[in-house]
A = this chain, B = another copy of it.
């Protein structure tokens, strides 16, 4: 399985990163400290069973499970098992059609426009990313957009596919309106993530970030944990920042990367608009304030997504050597605090995967385990087996 190459690199790197500890307020890739450990294969089995219980064919259910569990493995808990109910509800409500196959609507030497047919996001995304890679092999660049898609899990799953071909990969998706354009009282754009994966010999880096300070899932996790929000994460109904995770989750209005206007939040807003341009505007899907509200399953999500592959071999020779050199030099910069080494994008994920490997599985917080047990009863499937 080609991702194992990346995981192998991850293990070697985790050793180098050493005693990397994610600080308490750095919500990304921080291993859960309470709850129950579940083997990765068992988490996949559970997700696949749940999807099959609402009528998804086995191959698509298995693939969705792979993408969701990859998120938990990498430490992006908000986008893993935590999202299963959303997929189950969408399929049960008929707003996501689990058997739909993506269809090519228009094609050029370096471009394609795809109709996802309201199928599963990962199925649409895998098709489009493969197409982008194929085109980049011919012309140096492949730029593919899809309409009629659904939530596709972590953006990084798609960008990382390009690494197998020694290419750079990018992936973007629009999402339900959850983010305030700077100065606005309410939300009009999604958390609109950007992912870029870059090969660097036996090394690589993977940027996978929402264009907000945090993704809504991070607010969800603070709420599940009963913890307050740091400043600059989210707005209350009056348009002012709030620390109340419950109120923030109810208001559903995150702040863009940079926070308030005087700390350059308008740049994060600009990046969210860039992602919406590559997704909804190019693809002709729903966009901006017209995307269905977060958590509503009654209507099609009709998300727009964008997938780019670029072949570095089309440019200056020696790309991967330069990339490896730069990554290594960044990691060996003198840190302000000697106990916290400088990292590159993807290192926290590597440290987290190493942690999961050592632990024998991923640790889910108690509320997550409870929700899964309820779901198992509701769908009449076996509950997740707990390892410890």
A-to-B contact residues, CB < 8 Å: 23, 25-26, 105-106, 108-111, 113, 138-141, 143, 145, 147, 168, 181-186, 188, 194, 196, 198, 205, 207, 209, 213-214, 230-232, 235, 238-240, 257-259, 261-264, 266-271, 273-274, 276-277, 280-284, 287-289, 310-312, 314-319, 322-323, 326, 329-330, 333-337, 340-345
Contacts and interface: CB of A to CB of B under 8 A. Distances in A.
Number of identical protomers: 2
Contact of A143 (B141, B263, B266, B340): B141
A130 to B, nearest CB: 17
B262 A25 contact: yes
Contact of A273 (B145, B289, B344): B344
B230 A316 contact: no
Contact of A284 (B205, B213, B322): B322
Contact of A110 (B26, B141, B185, B280): B141
A91 B262 CA distance: 37
A205 to B, nearest CB: 7
A188 B113 CA distance: 39
A280 B140 contact: no
Contact of A315 (B23, B284, B323): B284
A333 B214 contact: no
B188 A330 contact: yes
29 contacts: A105-B316, A109-B110, A111-B311, A111-B315, A143-B314, A183-B341, A184-B333, A184-B342, A185-B334, A185-B335, A186-B334, A188-B330, A198-B281, A205-B273, A231-B263, A239-B335, A239-B336, A257-B267, A270-B345, A273-B345, A280-B322, A281-B322, A282-B310, A282-B312, A282-B319, A284-B317, A287-B326, A288-B326, A288-B330
A217 B287 CA distance: 35
A194 B145 CA distance: 21
A273 B330 CA distance: 10
Nearest to A170: B274
Given A183-B337, A273-B345, A284-B318, 19 more contacts: A23-B261, A106-B315, A113-B315, A181-B344, A183-B333, A183-B340, A183-B343, A185-B333, A185-B336, A207-B270, A213-B263, A232-B263, A263-B263, A273-B326, A273-B330, A276-B326, A280-B322, A281-B319, A282-B316
